[in-house]
């Protein structure tokens, strides 16, 4: 079952979504045209009376990596979507930029004045990777209000007790006593890992502090991600994942993982952005209905209870449909639109090598009617291919298809959707029947 189709009238006034079959009839009868393919939206060639419009409810299940959306007409779920954020990629890009700038400042070149106090702008209490999550959700809320009549928004506002996630029996003053209460970091690690190398078990040798999950693979400096290793094992492991390094020592790997604690990065991101997202939803719905009370705030326990009671699978978009007060749900669709935040052009003028020097020629901007990120249809060896266009130069393009890059001339392309910073696809059908 496919998502319902969004419809607007001649004056771009949002109407109720319609079934795909009805959308095909309107297109075949030349009563409508395609306004945009993602999400699929039709524009009618006539005005429609407002008396025939009844508003819908938009439900949101925010997450650290993926946010689920669901549009409900009463108890009927007519549209599902999942938005994949790029918070981790933003963090990696900022760390890469910081490393290059740090190397440049430490070289014996001309003196460069510090710039960190010269920068002014709006105060953003959230880090860029978390702030991005709120901005992308806000972007899609505004898009929904342009194409769908909405009079209510429901959002899950969950708060994680991260201390209890590590220790279920923590109480009272123990919340004020962290993991290192009464210890220094090195002494704590010596006590935790038995004063021996975590990987080979050597004793009475100099031990080095080592990251179990390498920082280059997304690991953090939390003490739960640190262990002790001899110099030989530390050098041999390098930045390999611990699963790869100990693939022949499964018992040792199991022991290390049992002592590690679950990373709390995703829980921290959700906790940091929860109030910002709730404020955005209240602001947008008050602009439509004039009432902030039309934004319903649900809890994670309520969402899980609704999903379990209805016998539904655990998916982000299905969780979104279960947010807030729910009696029963009738799914008219089971194929959510997968939206991936791909970003716009990289602002870096040239690529840099590992020493921080330019490794490519300055980029040029080609005014040829195409730009990187446009979604187009290309015919490759007699087969139609759909994908995002990568601009090479003023004459040729590349398009990644099934892990390979096909190239060609712009005359072979048919533009389907202009670049808006996102890529789109469809998932396999969910089994949403109890």
Count the neighbouring beta carbons within 10 Å of the beta carbon of residue 327.
Answer: 8
Beta strands per DSSP E along 37-165: 41-44, 56-61, 66-73, 76-84, 150-156
8 A C-beta contact, residue 404 and residue 363: no
84 has a pLDDT exceeding 90: yes
In the chain, the domains with their CATH numbers are: 1-52 (no CATH), 179-263 (1.10.30), 359-428+430-434 (2.30.30)
CA distances to 170, 316, 420 from 342, rounded to whole Å, are: 41, 19, 9
Query: How many whole angstroms from its chain centre is CA 34?
Result: 28
Say what the pLDDT of residue 434 is.
42
- Per residue in 268-299, pLDDT tens? 888 889 999 999 999 999 998 888 888 999 99
Count the neighbouring beta carbons within 10 Å of the beta carbon of residue 66.
Answer: 17
In this structure, what are the phi and psi dihedrals at residue 16, rounded to the nearest 5 degrees? -70, 140
Among residues 301, 315, 291, 306, the alpha carbon closest in space to that of 75 is found at 306
412 has a pLDDT exceeding 50: yes
Question: In the predicted model, what is the mean pLDDT of the chain?
Answer: 86
8 A C-beta contact, residue 81 and residue 318: no
Beta pairing class for 5-8 and 14-18: antiparallel
Tokens at 194, concatenated: 């038995």
Q: DSSP label at 86?
A: -
379 has a pLDDT exceeding 80: no
- Per residue in 91-101, pLDDT tens? 888 888 888 77
Say what the pLDDT of residue 433 is.
47
Confidence of residue 172 (pLDDT cuts 50, 70, 90): confident
- Per residue in 191-214, pLDDT tens? 888 889 999 888 889 999 999 989
């Amino acid at each position: 079952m496919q998502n319902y189709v969004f419809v607007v009238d001649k004056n771009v006034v949002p109407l109720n979504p319609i079934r795909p079959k009805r959308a095909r009839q309107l297109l075949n009868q030349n009563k409508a045209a395609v306004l945009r393919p993602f999400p699929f939206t039709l524009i009618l060639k006539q005005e429609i009376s407002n008396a025939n419009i009844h508003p819908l409810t938009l439900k949101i299940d925010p997450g650290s990596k993926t946010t689920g959306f669901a549009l409900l007409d009463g108890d009927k779920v007519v549209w599902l979507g999942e938005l994949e954020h790029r918070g981790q990629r933003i963090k990696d890009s900022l760390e890469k930029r910081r490393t290059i700038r740090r190397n440049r400042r430490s070289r014996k070149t001309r003196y460069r004045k510090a710039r960190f106090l010269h920068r002014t702008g709006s105060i953003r209490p959230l880090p860029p990777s978390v702030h991005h999550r709120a901005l992308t959700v806000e972007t899609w809320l505004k898009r929904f209000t342009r194409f769908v009549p909405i009079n209510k928004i429901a959002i899950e506002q969950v708060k994680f007790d991260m201390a209890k996630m590590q220790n279920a029996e923590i109480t009272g003053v123990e919340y004020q006593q962290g993991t290192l209460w009464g210890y220094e970091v090195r002494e704590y690690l010596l006590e935790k890992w038995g004063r021996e190398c975590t990987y080979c078990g050597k004793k009475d040798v100099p031990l080095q502090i080592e990251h179990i999950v390498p920082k280059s693979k997304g690991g953090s400096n939390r003490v739960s991600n640190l262990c002790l290793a001899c110099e030989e094992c530390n050098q041999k492991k390098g930045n390999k994942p611990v699963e790869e390094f100990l693939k022949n020592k499964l018992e040792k790997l199991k022991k290390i993982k049992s002592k590690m604690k679950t990373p709390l990065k995703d829980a921290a991101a959700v906790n940091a952005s929860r109030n910002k997202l709730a404020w955005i939803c209240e602001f947008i719905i008050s602009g439509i209905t004039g009432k902030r009370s039309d934004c319903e705030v649900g809890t994670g326990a309520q969402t899980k209870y609704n999903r379990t009671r209805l016998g539904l699978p655990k998916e982000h978009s299905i969780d979104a449909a279960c947010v807030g007060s729910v009696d029963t749900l009738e799914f008219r669709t089971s194929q959510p639109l997968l939206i991936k935040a791909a970003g716009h052009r990289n602002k870096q003028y040239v690529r840099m090598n590992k020493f921080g020097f330019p490794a490519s020629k300055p980029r040029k901007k080609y005014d040829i009617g195409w730009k990187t990120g446009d979604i187009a249809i290309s015919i490759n060896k007699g087969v139609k291919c759909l994908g995002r266009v990568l601009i090479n130069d003023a004459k040729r393009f590349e398009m990644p298809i099934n892990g390979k890059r096909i190239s060609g001339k712009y005359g072979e392309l048919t533009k389907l959707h202009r670049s808006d910073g996102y890529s789109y696809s469809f998932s396999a059908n969910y089994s949403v029947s109890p």
